[in-house]
Amino acid sequence: MKHILTVTAAVAALAAAALFVACGGDDHGMDNMGAMQSAPLPAGGVLVRLSNWAIEPLAASAPAGEVTFRASHDMMHTHSKGDGGNIHELAVARRRGDGQMEILGRVADIKMGEYKDLTLTLEPGEYELQCNLVEEVGGKAIGHYVKGMHTTFRVT
């Protein structure tokens, strides 16, 4: 019995090593946030990590002009039954003169392990990156924005 357990452990270790090698070192493997990569991020692009319940851009600002946000639904976190957050979105908003937020663009339905790109032409100013998804889980509405999925972003 001890020999079978040792062989099983060795096979599992080899399978894990093969998976690790297959996923690293090229644009088709996993990125540093656990999302599949199939295309390089454009120069000046901003990687944005989406997880329960946070939006984390890897850069706090970008120069004015065309900006590509890569919204990546992090696979490095777990979901508890009934807490929601299996799908996220990324919206880029700017505060108007009347104080209201205006959404300039959005990518939606980003499942765990996926990413989507959003390219916008932005002027200098203060912006907010948001997830405005509201899910119903077990008869209860869960608003991602209310749970903390928003952060400021500056365009210079």
Backbone phi and psi for residue 43, each to the nearest 5 degrees, phi listed first: -55, 135
Q: Flag whether pLDDT at 88 surpasses 80.
A: yes
Beta carbons within 8 Å of 153's beta carbon, 6+ residues apart? 46, 57, 60, 61, 62, 92, 126, 127, 128, 129
pTM (2 decimals)?
A: 0.73
Question: Secondary structure of the chain: what % helix, strand, coil (to 5)?
Answer: 15, 45, 40
- Residue 78's pLDDT is 55
pLDDT of 26 reads 34
Average pLDDT over residues 141-150: 95
